[in-house]
Amino acid sequence: FPLVITGLCNLLADFSKGEDKAYMEFTSPSRDKGTRFLKLADEFWMYLPNVGKAVKIAGHALRGSLMGSDFSYEDAVSNEELAESYDASLEGEEKVGDGDADCYVLKLSLKEGAEGSYYTQKLWVGKESFIPIKAEYYSRSGRLMKDVQILEFKRISGKNYPTRIRMENKLRKNTWSEFVLTDVQIGVSIPANVFTKGYLER
């Protein structure tokens, strides 16, 4: 389904027919204006206006900070198929969030030989909505790396979409970032050339 999000940055994504494509462009503040990102399946590209060409981001660089925030490049446009990479187990039930939502607590462990953003994930999934409300990401050593909470949802075309996401980086001290979606459009027509290096470097 094509997806368009606008705000401090514009994010265009198309996850239809199993494809994984996303284009993101920062429109403000002025120091970041014109910085663009393109994800095509497993490839991730970045365009900086002062460099004038696209640079591929790969390996551990994908875990770097996105524009100085607590989100990584992977976090921003990840469309990871959890069932393919992780084994899941039910850990229990808890109430979480401002509304004390009843949640199932799931533990996801990376399968042997599989690749994943984090070695272990702990998810709090709403009993009624079946939507993740909170997640914790752990390293191989068991260290808590990040804590993410979905603070707000918006119902669009019959489905709930997260519109306010808070990420806290536990490897830093007293820092967190919020990803707020101010305008979300579903099913709009996005020209195919948007998801190309040529458009990224235009």
Tens digit of each residue's pLDDT, the chain (202 residues):
344 444 455 555 554 444 678 888 887 778 888 888 888 877 889 999 988 889 998 877 877 888 778 888 777 666 667 888 899 999 999 998 776 789 999 999 999 988 777 899 999 999 988 888 999 999 999 999 999 999 888 888 788 888 888 899 888 877 888 888 777 777 778 888 888 899 999 8
Domain range for 150: 2-200
Model pLDDT, residue 2: 40
Give the DSSP letter string of 25-65: EE--STTTTT-EEEEETTEEEEE-TTT-SEEEE-GGGGGSB
**Contacts (Cβ under 8 Å, ≥6 apart) of 47:** 34, 35, 36, 37, 38, 53, 54, 55, 200, 201
Domain count, the chain: 1
Q: Return the structure tokens found at 91.
A: 């850990």
Question: Distance between CA atoms of 65 and 43, rounded to whole angstroms?
Answer: 17
Residue by residue, what is the 3-state secondary structure of 134-201? EEEEECCCCCEEEEEEEEEEEEECCEEEEEEEEEEECCCCCCEEEEECCEEEECCCCCHHHHCHHHHC
How far CA 192 is from CA of 12, 101, 169, 183, in Å, comes to 11, 40, 35, 21
pLDDT for the residue 5? 42
Reported pTM: 0.76
What pLDDT is attached to residue 184?
77
pLDDT at site 30:
80
Assign residue 170 the CATH number of its domain.
Answer: 2.50.20.10
